[in-house]
């Protein structure tokens, strides 16, 4: 990694993207990119975000997990200074979003849920014009655009219109666009929703690279594997509140057992078997199509199941994942 010149009183020292804040009174929040206390968002009678507290450290990848309507996007929009807060306090890069919105936005990159690309313009023009919104000088911007095209693997498409591009390409372009001003904080609202696995992995790779450069990433997602892959720490949101917080492994440790035994019987037998086997695991969950036994010793539990004479059609021992935590915390019923 190369080192860009930085001011002597630089408070963000975590990477080459770090932005000097010496002239902007980062104050005591050095090291903290986003700080929220009692943060609340109301739309009329409806409370979308209900007094949440969280701190996002500089240089970390921080995730907001939640079902649709859990309050993730509202939280994102407040951090991005797009939506005024209804209550509590919020500091972004040491500044007040209500007062310093444009200044904060000049230092963050936003990847919104919907790509806000101009479909009639070329890939290159989309990047260039967005850079002009930040007032970047033309020459510097033109060089920057070429770097970003390379980064997003869109160099060969640079002079094509956006309209015919695939979802994955558009997403990469939107991410590249968010980086045009070399932001120290990048906010990604469901970056990979609707993409195929190849496109998702390419995007994840690009996000890793950003993280290695010291960029703070704030990501909302409802994909658990994405959260496990990308996030150092995350919060699980449910109905506007934070249901749990921690690193992916901490959350699994705290809210789930180490392993899960999945058993499949004849469908009508699940309830009966669930009751019979309840004492073999810390927790048993009966689903319409299978039985989940939460346990720290998967193989031993499965042996115990078999020694009771239960003969499942299929049996599987797996490690617990964030998805188990998530479903445990937020329930299995459909939200919308």
Rounded to a whole number of angstroms, the distance between the first and last alpha carbons of the chain is 45
Shortest distance, CB of residue 168 to other proteins, whole angstroms?
A: 19
Distance CA 227, CA 207 (A): 12
Q: Which is nearer to other proteins, 41 or 328 (CB)?
A: 41
Q: Which is nearer to other proteins, 12 or 62 (CB)?
A: 12
Q: Which is nearer to other proteins, 118 or 196 (CB)?
A: 118
Shortest distance, CB of residue 303 to other proteins, whole angstroms?
A: 51
Integer-rounded Cα Rg, in Å, for the chain is 23
Q: Which is nearer to other proteins, 45 or 279 (CB)?
A: 45
* Residues at the contact surface with other proteins, assessed by CB under 8 A: 1-2, 4-7, 16-17, 19-20, 23, 43, 80, 82-84, 101-103, 105-106, 110, 112, 114, 116-122, 125, 128-130, 132-137, 140, 143-144, 147, 151, 178, 181-182, 209-210, 213
Q: Which is nearer to other proteins, 41 or 233 (CB)?
A: 41
Q: What is the dihedral of CA 274, 280, 285, 289, to 10 degrees?
A: -50
Shortest distance, CB of residue 170 to other proteins, whole angstroms?
A: 13
Residue 185: which of 148, 206, 210 has the closest Cα?
A: 210
What is the helix (H) or strand (E) element at residue 236, kind and residue range? strand 233-238
> Which two structure tokens, joined as six digits, stand for 220?
């909302």
123 Cβ contact list (under 8 Å, min separation 6): 149, 154, 157, 158, 159, 160, 161, 162, 165, 173
User: What is the DSSP secondary-structure string of 10-69?
Assistant: -S--SSTT----TTTT-GGGTTEEEEEEEEEEEETTEEEEEEEEEEEETT-EEEEEE-TT
* Cβ–Cβ < 8 Å for 128, 137: no
Shortest distance, CB of residue 100 to other proteins, whole angstroms?
A: 10
Q: Which is nearer to other proteins, 36 or 187 (CB)?
A: 187
Number of H helices, E strands in the chain: 11, 13
* SS3 category, 318: strand
Shortest distance, CB of residue 208 to other proteins, whole angstroms?
A: 11
Shortest distance, CB of residue 78 to other proteins, whole angstroms?
A: 11
Shortest distance, CB of residue 148 to other proteins, whole angstroms?
A: 9
Distance CA 98, CA 84 (A): 6
Shortest distance, CB of residue 182 to other proteins, whole angstroms?
A: 6
* Cβ–Cβ < 8 Å for 39, 51: yes
Q: Which is nearer to other proteins, 24 or 285 (CB)?
A: 24
Q: Which is nearer to other proteins, 51 or 129 (CB)?
A: 129
* SS3 category, 90: strand
């Amino acid at each position: 990694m190369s080192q860009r010149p930085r001011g002597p009183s630089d408070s963000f020292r975590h990477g080459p993207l770090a932005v000097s804040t010496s002239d902007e009174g980062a104050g005591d929040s050095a090291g903290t990119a986003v700080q929220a206390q009692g943060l609340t968002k109301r739309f009329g009678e409806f409370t979308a975000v209900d007094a949440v507290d969280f701190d996002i450290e500089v240089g970390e990848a921080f995730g907001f997990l939640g079902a649709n309507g859990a309050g993730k996007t509202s939280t994102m929009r407040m951090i991005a200074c797009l939506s005024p807060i209804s209550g509590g306090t919020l500091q972004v890069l040491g500044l007040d979003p209500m007062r310093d919105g444009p200044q904060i936005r000049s230092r963050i990159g936003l990847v919104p849920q919907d790509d806000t690309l101009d479909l009639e313009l070329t890939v290159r023009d989309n990047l260039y014009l967005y850079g002009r919104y930040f007032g970047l000088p033309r020459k510097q911007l033109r060089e920057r655009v070429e770097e970003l095209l390379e980064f997003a693997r869109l160099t060969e498409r640079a002079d094509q219109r956006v309209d015919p591009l695939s979802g994955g390409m558009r997403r990469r372009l939107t991410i590249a666009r968010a980086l045009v001003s070399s932001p120290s904080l990048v906010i990604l609202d469901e970056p990979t929703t609707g993409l195929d696995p190849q496109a998702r992995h390419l995007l994840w790779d690009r996000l890793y690279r950003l993280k290695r450069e010291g960029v703070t990433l704030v990501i909302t997602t409802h994909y658990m594997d994405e959260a496990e892959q990308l996030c150092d720490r995350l919060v699980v949101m449910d109905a506007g509140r934070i249901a749990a917080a921690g690193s992916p492994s901490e959350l699994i440790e705290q809210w789930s057992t180490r392993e899960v035994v999945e058993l499949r019987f004849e469908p009508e037998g699940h309830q009966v078997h669930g009751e019979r086997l309840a004492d073999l695991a810390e927790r048993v969950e009966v689903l319409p199509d299978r039985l989940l036994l939460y346990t720290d010793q998967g193989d031993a539990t499965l042996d115990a199941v078999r020694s009771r004479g239960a003969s499942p059609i299929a049996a599987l021992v797996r490690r617990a994942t964030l998805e188990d935590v998530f479903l445990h915390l937020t329930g299995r019923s459909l939200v919308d």
